[in-house]
């Protein structure tokens, strides 16, 4: 039995003594909205309001619509009174906070509400003939856009195990008994956790000069390192190195040791 019942998995709760889940609720609040136009690319926008800093993650999902996630620390959310706003008012106010980024266009909701991201880690992913997949087994913060990929990889892996292409640590029932350590680490200390922390601490980065800020944003999850960024975008990396004078002194450093970046 495949239990792909999401972050609030009832199956996981029913066998909590076996799966041993640990669910961490994080400090930021976010709301998942949409815009009826396509952003030109993935957009990350900040709004420095009288209540504190807010952030918008926006990306097109069709030729004329975009996903928009508005996120902020809990204290900012409360100071802005968003904890007392319903769906319609929250949507309107988010559009107003980010009027510049949205070109004054409205946002659209779809049973949207404010929530806090939860990191889910389980010791075990299977029990008898039941296997957890996707968010039921592990979550990855949305800022690295990997949750669906991880869920599909789980499904492929389960299929391979069922077909007999199993690796050793597999029960006779055909499913992996323990969550692979790499995955458990991925949720707790991997790229998603690093990216989540970066966004929680966003306010501390806002005073950085633009290129330093961009470098920090691009390398926040540590999946992209200084060296790796040099391969992807040598021109940009050179300008950052020139800004901070770290290229001649540390030609192969990752991250550049002793430099301001
Ligand atoms: C704001 C946000 C943005 C994200 N953006 C991205 C992104 O850009 N790229 C990416 O890869 N991932 C992203 N993710 C993560 C991604 O959405 C999840 O990792 C992925 O949807 C997990 O798939 P799933 O099938 O495990 O769970 P879900 O997609 O949550 O599906 C679980 C399903 O089970 C159903 N269900 C639950 N209980 C029952 C029940 N008792 N009976 C019947 N049905 C039930 C639910 O209704 C739901 O349809 C984002 C997540 C968030 C919160």
> What are the domain boundaries of the chain?
2-24+120-195, 28-102, 208-261
Question: Mean pLDDT over all residues of the chain?
Answer: 87
Backbone φ and ψ for 44, nearest 5 degrees, come out as -125, 115
Q: Given this model, what pLDDT does residue 170 score? A: 39
Q: How far apart are CA 82 and CA 188, in angstroms?
A: 29
**Mean per-residue pLDDT, 170-174:** 37
**Mean per-residue pLDDT, 147-159:** 90
pLDDT greater than 80 at residue 34: yes
Q: What secondary structure letter does DSSP report for 206?
A: T
- CB-ligand 1 contact for 4 (6 Å cutoff): yes
Residue with tokens 């800004």: 243
Q: Given this model, what pLDDT does residue 14 score? A: 97
**More confident: 174 or 62:** 62
- CB-ligand 1 contact for 134 (6 Å cutoff): yes
**Mean per-residue pLDDT, 5-20:** 96
Of all atoms in ligand 1, which is nearest to the CA of residue 150? Answer: 19
Exposure string of 197-206, with b = 16+ CB inside 10 Å and e = fewer, is ebbbebeebe
Q: Given this model, what pLDDT does residue 115 score? A: 97
Q: Given this model, what pLDDT does residue 225 score? A: 87
Most confident residue range from 105-109, 186-190, 226-230: 105-109
State which CATH number among 3.40.640.10, 3.40.1410.10, 3.30.9.20, 3.40.50.1220 fits the domain covering 28-102: 3.30.9.20
Q: How far apart are CA 135 and CA 251, in angstroms?
A: 40
Q: Given this model, what pLDDT does residue 185 score? A: 52
**Mean per-residue pLDDT, 131-154:** 92
Centre of ligand 1 to C-alpha 125, Å, is 17
pLDDT greater than 90 at residue 179: no
pLDDT band at 187 (very low <50, low <70, confident <90, very high): low
- CB-ligand 1 contact for 185 (6 Å cutoff): no
pLDDT digits (tens, 9 = 90+) for 100-116: 999 999 999 999 999 99
**More confident: 209 or 98:** 98
- CB-ligand 1 contact for 10 (6 Å cutoff): yes
pLDDT band at 175 (very low <50, low <70, confident <90, very high): very low
Lowest mean pLDDT among 21-35, 39-53, 68-82, 234-248: 234-248
Please state whether the peptide bond connecting residue 255 to the residue before it is cis, i.e. omega within 30 degrees of 0. Answer: yes
Which protein residue has the closest C-alpha to ligand 1 atom 28? 6
- Tokens coding 131: 């296997």
Which protein residue has the closest C-alpha to ligand 1 atom 30? 6
Q: Judging by beta carbons within 10 Å of its beta carbon (0-12, 13-18, 19+), is residue 236 exposed, middle or buried?
A: middle
Which protein residue has the closest C-alpha to ligand 1 atom 39? 5
**Mean per-residue pLDDT, 61-81:** 97
Q: Given this model, what pLDDT does residue 117 score? A: 96
pLDDT above 70 covers a percentage of the chain that reads: 84
- CB-ligand 1 contact for 142 (6 Å cutoff): yes
Residue with tokens 């993935």: 42
Centre of ligand 1 to C-alpha 54, Å, is 24
Centre of ligand 1 to C-alpha 11, Å, is 15
Mutate which of 31, 57, 118, 142 for ligand 1? The one with the most ligand atoms within 8 Å of its CB, which is 142
pLDDT greater than 50 at residue 257: no
pLDDT band at 173 (very low <50, low <70, confident <90, very high): very low
- CB-ligand 1 contact for 155 (6 Å cutoff): no
Mutate which of 42, 131, 135, 143 for ligand 1? The one with the most ligand atoms within 8 Å of its CB, which is 135
């Amino acid at each position: 039995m495949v239990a792909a019942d999401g972050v609030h998995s009832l199956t996981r709760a029913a066998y909590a003594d076996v799966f041993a889940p640990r669910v961490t609720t994080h400090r930021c609040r976010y709301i998942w909205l949409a815009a009826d136009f396509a952003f030109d690319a993935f957009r990350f926008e900040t709004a420095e309001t009288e209540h504190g800093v807010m952030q918008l993650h926006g990306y097109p999902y069709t030729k004329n619509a975009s996903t928009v996630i508005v996120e902020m620390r809990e204290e900012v959310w409360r100071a802005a009174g968003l904890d007392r706003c319903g769906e319609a008012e929250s949507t309107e106010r988010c559009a107003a906070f980010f009027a510049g980024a949205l070109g004054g266009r409205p946002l659209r909701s779809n049973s949207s509400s404010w929530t806090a991201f939860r990191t889910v880690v389980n010791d075990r992913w299977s029990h008898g003939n039941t296997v957890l997949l996707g968010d039921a087994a592990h979550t990855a913060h949305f800022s690295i856009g990997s949750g669906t990929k991880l869920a599909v990889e789980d499904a492929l892996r389960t299929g391979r195990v069922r077909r007999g292409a199993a690796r050793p640590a597999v029960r006779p029932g055909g499913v992996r008994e323990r969550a692979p350590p790499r995955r458990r680490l991925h949720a707790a200390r991997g790229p998603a956790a690093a990216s989540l922390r970066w966004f929680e601490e966003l306010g501390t980065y806002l005073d950085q000069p633009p290129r330093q800020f961009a470098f920090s944003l691009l390398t926040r999850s540590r999946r992209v390192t200084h060296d790796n960024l040099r391969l992807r975008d040598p021109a940009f990396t050179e300008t950052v190195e020139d800004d901070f004078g770290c290229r001649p002194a540390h030609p192969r450093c990752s991250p550049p040791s002793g430099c301001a970046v």
